[in-house]
Amino acid sequence: MSPIAIDARDVTKVYRKFAHRKQFATIKSALLSGSLVRDLRPDETFAALKGISFQVPAGCTYGIIGRNGSGKSTMLKCVAGISRPTTGSVTVNGRVSALIELGAGFHPEISGRENVFINGIMLGLTRKEIARRFDEIVEFAELEDFIDAPVKTYSSGMYMRLGFAVAIHVDPDVLLVDEVLAVGDEGFTHKCLDKFGDFRRRGKTVLLVTHSLALVERFCDEALWIDAGLARAHGDPRRVVGAYVTDVEKSEERALAAADAKAQEHARTEPLAEPAIADPVDAAAAPDDGFKASEGRWGSREVEITGVRLVGEDGHAGHVFHSGEAVTIELGVTARHRVTDFAFGIGLFSADGVCCYGTNTDVADLKSVEMSGSGTARFVIESLDLVEGTYKLDVAVHKRDGYAYDYHRQLYTFRVKSRTKDAGIYRPRHRWEFSPTVRLTPGGV
């Protein structure tokens, strides 16, 4: 067992909520209410971390993932020693460098050269050490031509690159990284990743806080998932990322369900007047029409759509599906009296309002015969060949001439998830084939 580089034991961090009158602390209020550091009532505090423990062996690359506000950065700050845990302890063995905010100590008025020196000294180097690494730092930041210009003239990318270059050249035993890889262009990001790889090879410890799950899976030996200040899972990165992704899908599911319920409620209370054209096929032909983009519900309600469910492969209704999954759109309908002229319509829209597909039973050459009482209509999609994204759904029942019985315009939202980061809207079923002279192997990136 290799020695422990970072040992966090039962770390709890309680922040004071600066609510109402507390926001403007005055000497008077402190004198009247006694000591500055006193026990706060629970309603005035917020626990960002609730008893988190983990160990990072030396030489390990450790990833921390979690949603916004889950406590990842607070954890990193506790490890860095910038803030102290309220209870519990963090022990770090070796020199620490924290990439939390790049170029935090830069002074805008003075040159990049002087800032490199001062920033390096702030991070714990001596003047001599910086002088020795200076050229390397400047080369890494790709700022050879601008190093003597004041930092205030730098673009934000240049600023970040210089900050990163200095911090990485401190040559720490333990490097703490907080979501800073998004700083440069593609080329610079690769350089940073190479540098991390270099760190790993030399047996240094890296603690990485990030939203890039791919990065965690690729680089980390172990991962920790923090949610609302609690450690939800830790260990093998693939397993932890998998658990996290599943949880995010679940909460998206809840959010979409809530949003749909709200949209439907809104449509019920404020019904729209019937627009001139109410046919998904025609709507598809005119996606630019501003009015059509708005959600709502209209129609005579002689036939009413009483419920809409999206059912996935597992047989459960939901809002989040995987690309390529079989999905059924199930409409519950009730006819107030017997009707003979009717058609069901479906429209799929991308989040920015582009119609991905629209059809109705009339277009599909299905002639209505009759309907009475309650029943269901299912639109079975054998394979949901859409790329990742959020989609809106139109459902309608109308006369074949377009007279609307019940038209639901974009009242339903669902999300398509995919592990493949392809672009566009439609993913045709496909495979790649090559002649024997062209060779590729799986697992490129």
Residues within the interface to another protein (CB under 8 A): 15-16, 24-27, 30, 36-37, 77, 80-84, 96, 98, 100-101, 104-105, 107, 109-110, 114, 117-118, 121-123, 126-127, 150
Shortest spacing between CB 211 and another protein, in angstroms: 18
Q: Which residues pair with 412 in a beta bridge?
A: 393
Shortest spacing between CB 74 and another protein, in angstroms: 10
Nearer Cβ to another protein, position 152 or 211?
152
Contact 290, 409 (CB under 8 A): no
Please tell me what DSSP assigns to residue 314: T
Residues in the chain: 445
Shortest spacing between CB 11 and another protein, in angstroms: 15
Nearer Cβ to another protein, position 35 or 437?
35
Max CA distance (Å), the chain: 91
Instruction: Report how far residue 351's alpha carbon sits from residue 367's, in angstroms, rounded to the nearest whole number.
Output: 32
Nearer Cβ to another protein, position 100 or 381?
100
Nearer Cβ to another protein, position 75 or 346?
75
Shortest spacing between CB 323 and another protein, in angstroms: 39
Nearer Cβ to another protein, position 68 or 435?
68
In single-letter form, the type of residue at position 126 comes to T
- Give the pair of three-digit tokens for residue 415: 């999300």
346 closest CA partner among 283, 266, 403, 292: 283
Phi, psi of 408 (to 5 degrees): -110, 110
Contact 384, 324 (CB under 8 A): yes
Nearer Cβ to another protein, position 16 or 218?
16
Nearer Cβ to another protein, position 171 or 274?
171
Q: Hey, what's the torsion of the CAs at 240, 241, 245, 246, to 10 degrees?
A: -30
Sign of CA dihedral 246, 250, 255, 259: positive
Instruction: Report how far residue 415's alpha carbon sits from residue 436's, in angstroms, rounded to the nearest whole number.
Output: 39
- What is the SS3 assignment for 189? helix
Instruction: Report how far residue 215's alpha carbon sits from residue 245's, in angstroms, rounded to the nearest whole number.
Output: 14
